[in-house]
Every structure is written in C-alpha cells, then in structure tokens.
Amino acid sequence: MTDVVSIDPRTGQAVEVVAQETTTDEVDRICVAAAQAAAPLEAMGRAGRAALLRACADALEVARPRIVELADRETALGTTRFEGELSRTTFQLRLFAEVLDEGSYLEASIDHAGDTPMGPRPDLRRMLVPTGPVAVFGASNFPLAFSVPGGDTASALAAGCPVVVKAHGSHPATSQLCADVMSQALAEAGAPPGTLAVVHGVQAGAHLVQHPAITAVGFTGSLQGAQALVELIGRRPDPIPFYGELSSLNPVVVTPAAAAERGAGIGTDAIGSATLGAGQFCTKPGLFLVPDGAHGDAVVESMIAATEALPAQVLLSSAITSSFLRTGQALADTDGVRVLARGGAQVSDDASRVAPVLLGTEATTMPDAVTEECFGPVTVVVRYADADQLIALLDRLPSSLTATVHRGSGETELPRVLAERLRRRAGRLVFDAYPTGVAVSWAQHHGGPWPSTNSQHTSVGTTAIRRFLRPVSWQGAPPELLPDELKDGPSPVPRRVDGVLHLAR
Amino acid sequence: MTDVVSIDPRTGQAVEVVAQETTTDEVDRICVAAAQAAAPLEAMGRAGRAALLRACADALEVARPRIVELADRETALGTTRFEGELSRTTFQLRLFAEVLDEGSYLEASIDHAGDTPMGPRPDLRRMLVPTGPVAVFGASNFPLAFSVPGGDTASALAAGCPVVVKAHGSHPATSQLCADVMSQALAEAGAPPGTLAVVHGVQAGAHLVQHPAITAVGFTGSLQGAQALVELIGRRPDPIPFYGELSSLNPVVVTPAAAAERGAGIGTDAIGSATLGAGQFCTKPGLFLVPDGAHGDAVVESMIAATEALPAQVLLSSAITSSFLRTGQALADTDGVRVLARGGAQVSDDASRVAPVLLGTEATTMPDAVTEECFGPVTVVVRYADADQLIALLDRLPSSLTATVHRGSGETELPRVLAERLRRRAGRLVFDAYPTGVAVSWAQHHGGPWPSTNSQHTSVGTTAIRRFLRPVSWQGAPPELLPDELKDGPSPVPRRVDGVLHLAR
C-alpha cells in the first residue's frame, strides 16, 4: 500500500493522504464494472445521457467552493483561475448534452436498396456507436478542464462510454473530490454503477491501458509519458486507439507591419499569454518571431519590461520545478541564446518559486533547442531580417497545436504566405490574438500534426466525441432491430438518405 | 537491380518482367514529387479534383479490355470477376467526385464571436484539410478495387492528397498498367506532376512508410505485414496514422428458425459466398454456426454437396497456395475438427490448384484454431445445441469486419440478442444475406475492432475520405485568408453556423 499524498506546491509540504495507490486487483474490478456499465449506459440513449451530463454540471456547481479551494491549494494557480476553469468545465458538460440533443455526431446515414452502376445494392444504414470503456489521463495543468470532469470525460460519457480516469499525481485530492461529486450525481440521475471511476498511481495507469475492457485512451501530458503508454498499448493482443495531446511550441509571428502599428502592446500581451498559469499551458506561445529594426525593438523592449515586472511563480510540482530549472538553464546557456530579462527578483534555485525568463536569439544563429516546448515561464524571441529569413525559420519549427500571426491592419500578402505555411504545421491558426484560451465550441480544433498530437481528432470542442465512437453498418436489418435514428420515417437527427443530407424531422 | 516479374498462377510461370524494384533513391524522388504536388492539388479545389477523379474513371474504362485481361492473367480470378471489379472501381472514383461536389465531408463549421457562459468566444471556423502525401498498399486479392485505382487511392486523391502506391507483388503488371493509365489521365486533366506514382518491391514499401513526406498510410493485407509496417512507422521521428484492414473471420449464425425454413438454400449459398474468389475475400464467411438437429443437418448436407461439386481452385500466388495447404491441413488435423467434404477431385499438393474444404466441429469441442482467418477455400461449420451454447460461442470469436445472422421469417427475439452481441465485435451486421460483396455507398462501413482493422474509420464507402483529412480551426482570421467554404454568406456546402446545421446555399 502506497499513500497518495496531496502536496501544497507553495510550501512543498504534504497536506493530506487522499487515498492509497490503486492496486492491480482494484483496477481489474473497476474495469470490469466499467465493461458492465457500457450496455446500460448506451441504452439510456441520447436524452438519458444528456441528463447525466447536466446532472454532473449541476453537482459540480454545488461543490464549487470546495473544488476551487482544493484545486488552488494543490496547484497554486489561484482561485480566480479555478472559478473560470470550473465554469468552463460545467459549460463543457452542458455543451456535450446539446451535442446529444442535436444528434449530428451520429453521422446517421441510410442507403435504401437499389440498383447502381456496380450492380444491386442492399439496404445499408450506418451510424456511430460507443467504443466501450475509455481510460482518461488527467493533465497536471488543468485539474478540472483536462482531468476528472474535463473534455475527455465529458465527450466519452456523451458518446456512451464508461470512463476510468487516471488521476494526475499533482492534484489527487481535487481529482478524488470531483470523482466523488460526479459519481454521486451520476448514480442519482440513474447511470449504471461503473460509469465513472478514478484510479491513482503510475502502476494503476499502466495496468489500465492494458486492461482488456478498455477500448480507447484519452491523454493530455508529456511526449515521454505518452510514448510509455503507447508502448504498453502496442503489447496488447488488441492494440487500442490512443489519443494524445502531447507537446507544442505554438509559434507567434509578428509581421513588420504589426510591429510598426502596435509593437509595444503586442510585447506586453505576449508575455501575459506566455506566462499565464506560470507558463504551464499546452497552448503557451513559446517562440516569438519578431522583425529586426526599431519597431521590432519596441516589441522586445515591452516584452523585457513585462517579464521584469512579473513576480516569481510557483509551479505545479517539485518535479516540474526541477525540470524547468534544468531545461531553462540549459536553454539560457545554449550558444546563440542570451537572457534578455528575468522577473521575480530574489529567487533562489531551492525555493519552490521560479523566475520568469525571456531569452533572445537571431534567425541566423537560432539553435534547435529553442524549438522544443519548455513547460513553465520561459519565452524565446527570435529576430528576423526579412520575409525570406522569416519563412526559412518557419521550416525549422516543429508542428504545434497552434500558430499565430500578428499582422498590420489590412495587411494581406505576407499573412497569406505565413498562413499557408503555418497551416501545414498547426491545428489552429490564430490572427491578431494569443493562443492561450481554447474556447469550447463547435468549430474549435485542439490538435495538430506530431508532436502536438498523434491524432486527426480534437480533444477540445464538440467534435472530440468522435474519438470514442466507431461506425457500424446494418445491412438488410429488420426495422425492429435498428436504432431509432436509423428507422425510416421522420428522423430525430440530421441524416443522409440515399446520399442527400436532411435536417432533423 | 531486381526484376519485378508477372507470374501466371495457372501455370506458375513468369510471363514478363514488368519493372525493376524501386530503389531507395527512386522512392525519395517520388515522395519529394508527391510533396511538391500537395499544395497545387489542394488548390485545384473540390471541383478541380472531382474532374480528376472522373477523368481517371473514363481512362480506366477506355483501357478496360487490357486491364481485365491482364488482371485475370495475373490472378486467375476470371474475366467476369474483373469486368465487375473494374465497374466497381470506376463507380467508386465517380462517387468520390460526388462527395467533393456535395462537400459535407469538410465538416465546415463557423462559430461567430460572442459571449458564452465561459466568457467571450473569438470567431472560430473549422474544416478539414488534406494531410499531405499518402502511401497506399495494394491488396493481393483485389487488383483493382483495393489496389492502384482502388478505394484508398480514390479517397486520398479526393481529399487532396497525392498518392504513392506500393504495388502488390502478385499483380505488378496490372498495377503498372493502371498507374500508367491514371497518371496520363491525371496529367491531361491538369493534375500537378507527382499526384500519383507506383513503387515496386518490399524494400520500397518499407522506405515509403518511413519517408518524411508521407503523412498517412492506407493498407489492406495481412496482420503480419501490417505489424511490420507499424513498427517501422513507430521509429519515425513523427509517427503517422496507419489505417490497416487486416484479418477477419466473419462469422455467420444460422438460427434454428432459419434452418427450419430454408436450411438447404442457406447451405448452398453459404459455400458460394465462402469460396467466391477462391475464398480470398476479406469478407469471406469463415465460420458458420449451425444448430444441431435435422434442420441444421439439412444446412450442413447442402454445404457438403456444394463443396463436393466445386472444381479445384487456383490461388493468387504460390506463397498463398503454400500457406493455404499448410494452415488448411493443420486445421483439418486439429483435435475436435473433422473433414466434412472436399471438392476438386484429383488434386495433388504440388499442383497450383487446391481443393475446397469443408470442416466441422462442435460447440463443446471447438478449438481456438478455427476462430482464426484462413485465406482460401476452407469453411468451418460449428454445431450448437441451444441459444445458451450459441451465445457462449460468440464470446470466443475475435472481432471481424462483418457478422451475419440468418433468422426465421419474422423472428426477432434471438436475432436481437445476437445482433446486440455481434455489434460489439463487428463493423457491419448482415441479415439474411452473405458478407461478401461490399457495396460502395454513403452508408457503408468496412472496418471493425482489432484484428479486423486498427482504425475507427472505414476503407470502403464515402466516409473513407476522413482518414486522409485533419481539422484546422481559423481564429479571428481576415475573410480573405479563409477557404471559400468558411466565408460568411451563402455556403456552397452544408455547414454548422453557431451550432446549427444548415444545408448548402
């Protein structure tokens, strides 16, 4: 038995024992219960599961003060942040209830029997069905929005998949509280036992992804953590899909016209975005490409001032602090890189607080090291001489969740070239804003080519549900054996009939 | 230099040298050309690419006599089969042109800026974009429909992805002819150079999936071949999606009521389906579950008669023949299995022709060996005593592309239980028919849980295009930088605006 301890990162002290690490036998039991919940959860239908999601949202709102206080205590991210993150999380649960009400996500389609140029076609009816129990790995940096009650859980439950969450070790108490609140709400709303569970501990997570009952994995975390899980999944007799949100540099280009128009404002806001949550956002803009010359200097000068004005920052855990100090120092020591500014005066390496850092380099000397994600409050500026140099730089960057262009008012030519190139390497193109802040909506995409994700699906927004669904076609099925959404007559959902899309009703 | 030789399986003799195995340098050059084709191919737009697909279909029709003759010579599957397979293939190309015309596949979605319960939301617009160059691995058993001009190629080109096909070694001449015909048609229709290419040889295939320009792989073939490629892909610095159609048992349940009503007819048709294309279909029904008793006996007796009436069959290659003789004999020799019938009299093991075989076993003694796919004309019957025994059998079967239920007229209760169980283990549920014959249509799904595929997407039907697309969101983009499908105003495609689905216009 190993204690699962909740630590206050502001003091580094253990505050309470939350639970014991989940044993292999317990993981087995939890996964079997999840498997048993799968059929009844699906049988609740879209309306039934929408009610479950709304009940979870309501219950989390009732527990708001306790959740906010606990999440802040475990992460030092501040209560204001968690008031907002909880609002986002309950909104997300309710939005997935709307997704169920609307029903497009089923991709319902009917082809009636008939003749085709390739011969007679039987009656075929297709829609998406839940994959089965899903494992969700909570992220260190969003104890609510990307953890027990987060987007993976909301989308999986909406899909009709029971969920087993591996709680992140940096906020076990928040995870357990959210799981308890949601489990009770689910039970009261009529969900089958086993619909939601939480496990603690690295070994429990490893056992979870190998359990035969688990049919897909949603993961937000490091590339290294992902690779370890992918390797375990590869050893299953039946490898399952792994949806990982991994590592992202999130480059930001400031065009000469943008720098000329509003360079100082961009610099200030840039540092605000890059150090939000102490630089621990997957969408943190890690690399700014700023033109040479006086207008670019103004951008950098305001970045320096903003960095120097920042207080020292508490990171999520001692492991993240150590890693930040190590990689941040290595970056600062890299040939071709210089320290432009440091915030949070009087910080020593052994404290739990770290100093925000702004580093600088040039297009001609930029080392590859600055193109790798560094978790925490470090920001890098690269200066470029002209458009050719800028475009050559873009080709050296890895793919990211996001890429941002700040352009001059009405400027089109250079932004078009940049957008075309950046679109090949990012999942979201941001104009004249910052990538932190990922709205939960129908048109959101949070994903991108490797290493930002390993998936052609999103982990934020309504289409995240697609990860936990698979298609089934019914051929020549008697009407009484078809799902309601595939029966002839008025349809409760949008669907395609003989190739033509129809709205609901 | 290694010759790529076209062999006539009816004689086992080499007929011609088709090409030389593609060298590593040549693969590099082909992949670089494909990468250069990606942007102009996408820029042709939906209408431009629809015209390309129709031009390919027209050109293949013009070359029909040559293609049919060559495909028959290389596979011994018969000219009638290839007349049909080519019709299917050109229909498929034209259907993907319709998919482009219609435009739903883009999943276009617009969220205008506004307030939400989680705060202000920026303007977000999402649609799918091509991933980039795609590698396609042709299948041995469908030289047209799942090879150079097949569904993977059609869906990838439709998506806007250049395609490099690894030709299957059992029909290199057919592959090269189709590639030549299509390449000329593409060039004449204005496609950029590099839009389509073919490579020959195992090493070329291995190099192909590791090439940095390749962004996704479509594969139809064996589990072993897939696993080798997946391992190579795992060693890439940027692992890419692998969409594999792998191994499938395709169980068929005959209920007691169905056996009572039309047992003899089911038995005859069962053998017809199982030995179509000499049993070399991925949807071959490999295992029939038939009730004990007189009605079940009638099913089995007609299967025996149908098997004994079959001539000897020529398999696709000497490797497939050897494998069939080895695994078929091992199955027949397995404890609990007996040979019920053998067709194709006077066949000796060293001939290129093999005898179709019908094997039998009982629910209580069924060895696991009969639940594995065996490529070629071997069919297994399992007799069951009652519904409980039948359902227990289902739990021992691996997942498949398809699962079939033959039920009595108006019978609902047992079929419902069977369909619920089989749906968890199959991508297509077939009622009162046979799984061979996979219609290309909007509502088709050809996929299923491991080992039938490793994907939650299909390789047949219009939604196959989704494999070669990834989402991008534009945030706060100036209208002139948006794709046409995401601009405000009347939409040329169905799209979701502020959460509400609208039809085109």
In angstroms, the Cα distances linking A262 to A164, A296, A408, B492 are 48, 10, 9, 37
Task: Provide DSSP, B396-441.
Answer: TSPPEEEEEEE--TT--HHHHHHHHHHHTTEEEEEESS-S-----S
- Residue B285's alpha-carbon distances to A212, B215, B260, B298, in angstroms, are 26, 34, 21, 19
**For residue B471, which residues of chain A lie inside 8 Å, CB to CB?**
427, 445, 447, 456-458, 463
Mean pLDDT per 10-residue run, chain A (505 residues)?
Answer: 94 95 98 98 98 98 98 96 97 98 98 92 98 97 97 98 98 98 98 98 98 98 95 96 96 98 98 96 97 98 97 93 92 96 73 89 96 94 98 96 97 97 97 96 97 96 98 98 97 97 94
Instruction: Name residues whose C-beta falls within 8 Å of residue A185's C-beta, 6 or more positions apart in sequence.
Output: A52, A55, A56, A58, A59, A60
- Angle, helices B172-188 vs B64-75, to 10°: value is 160
CB contact under 8 A, A440 and B118: yes
Taking contacts as CB-CB distances below 8 angstroms, the residues of chain A near B494 are 501
CB A373 within 8 A of CB A274: no
Distance CA B384, CA B393 (A): 8
Interval A287-341: pLDDT, tens: 999 999 999 999 999 999 999 999 999 999 999 999 999 999 999 999 999 999 9
Two structure tokens written together for A25: 């036998």
Model confidence at B480, pLDDT cuts 50, 70, 90, reads very high
Q: Report yes or no: A445 at the B interface, CB cutoff 8 Å.
A: yes
The SS3 of residue B321 is: helix
Q: How many CB atoms lie within 10 A of CB A167?
A: 29
DSSP class of A470: E
Q: What is the pTM of this model?
A: 0.97
Asked if B447 and A470 come within 8 Å (Cβ–Cβ), the reply is yes
The C-alpha atoms of residue A51 and residue B128 are separated, in whole angstroms, by: 31
* Nearest one of B185, B186, B150, B173 to B62, comparing CA atoms: B185
Instruction: Answer whether B107 sits within 8 Å of A463, measured CB to CB.
Output: yes
What dihedral do alpha carbons A262, A264, A270, A276 form, nearest 10°? -120
* Burial readout A243-261 (b: 16 or more C-beta within 10 A, e: otherwise): bbbbbbbbbbbbbbbbbeb
Q: Are strands B353-354 and B313-314 parallel, antiparallel or unpaired?
A: antiparallel
pLDDT of residue B117: 86
pLDDT of residue A119: 87
Q: Does A228 touch chain B (CB under 8 A)?
A: no
Q: Tell me, what DSSP letter sits at residue B310?
A: P
Residues of A in contact with B415 (CB under 8 A): 478, 481
For chain B, how long is the longest CA-to-CA vector?
79
Q: Which two tokens stand for residue A73?
A: 């205590």
Nearest to B111 by CA among A448, A457, A459, A445: A445
User: CB of B142 within 8 A of CB of B74?
Assistant: no
Q: How far apart are alpha carbons A390 and A469 in whole angstroms? A: 41
**Scanning the structure block, which residue is given the tokens 């991108």?**
A448
The pLDDT, as a whole number, for residue A345 is: 72
Q: For the segment B254-308, what is each residue's pLDDT rounded down to a tens digit?
A: 999 999 999 999 999 999 999 999 999 999 999 999 999 999 999 999 999 999 9
Catalytic residue among B31, B161, B282, B374: B282
- Tell me what pLDDT residue B349 has: 53
Task: Please compute the mean of the pLDDT values over residues B72-86 and round it to a whole number.
Answer: 96
Question: What is the per-residue pLDDT across B227-257, written as a single tens digit (0 to 9) for each?
Answer: 999 999 999 999 999 999 999 999 999 999 9
Give the Cα separation of B304 and B280 in Å (integer). 20
The pLDDT of B62-86, averaged and rounded, is 97
Closest CA to B82 of B95, B93, B69, B94: B69
Work out the minimum CA distance from A189 to partner chain B, whole angstroms.
24
What pLDDT, in 10s, does the model give residues B485-501? 999 999 999 999 999 99
A443 to B241: CB separation less than 8 angstroms, yes or no: no
Q: Which helix (H) or strand (E) holds A174?
A: helix A172-188
Question: How far is it, in rounded angstroms, from Cα B97 to Cα B242?
Answer: 24
The yes-or-no answer on residue A161 being catalytic is: no
Give the pLDDT of residue B119. Answer: 87
Question: What CA–CA distance (Å, rounded) separates A376 from A356?
Answer: 8
Whose CA is closest to B129, among A129, A422, A133, A44? A422
Question: Is the minimum CB–CB distance between A392 and chain B shorter than 8 Å?
Answer: no
Catalytic residue among B245, B373, B374, B485: B245
pLDDT tens for each residue of B364-415: 999 999 999 999 999 999 999 999 999 999 999 999 999 999 999 999 999 9
C-alpha–C-alpha distance, residues A14 and A5, integer Å: 6
pLDDT-based confidence at B445, cuts 50/70/90? very high
> ∠ at Cα B472 (B471, B473), nearest 5°?
125
Question: Torsion angle, CA of B359/B363/B365/B368, rounded to 10 degrees?
Answer: 70
Instruction: Say what the pLDDT of residue B347 is.
Output: 57
Q: Which residue of A has its CA nearest to B94?
A: A117
Residue count of chain A, please give it: 505
- Residue B472's SS3 state is strand
- On whether any CB of chain A is under 8 Å from the CB of B319, the answer is no
Is A413 an 8 Å CB contact of chain B? no
Contact A119 B419 (CB under 8 A): no
- Tell me, yes or no, if A282 is annotated catalytic: yes
Contacts of A397 (CB under 8 A, 6+ apart): A249, A251, A287, A371, A425
Report pLDDT for B263: 97
Question: What is the amino acid identity at position A478?
Answer: P
Rounded to whole angstroms, the Cα distance separating B90 from B98 reads 13
DSSP state of A66: H
Question: Cβ contact (<8 Å) for A476 and B433?
Answer: yes
Query: Given an 8 Å threshold on Cβ–Cβ distance, is B463 in contact with A471?
Result: yes
pLDDT for res A346: 61
Taking a C-beta distance cutoff of 8 angstroms, is the pair B388, B338 a contact? no
One-letter identity of residue B200: H
Q: Does B25 touch chain A (CB under 8 A)?
A: no
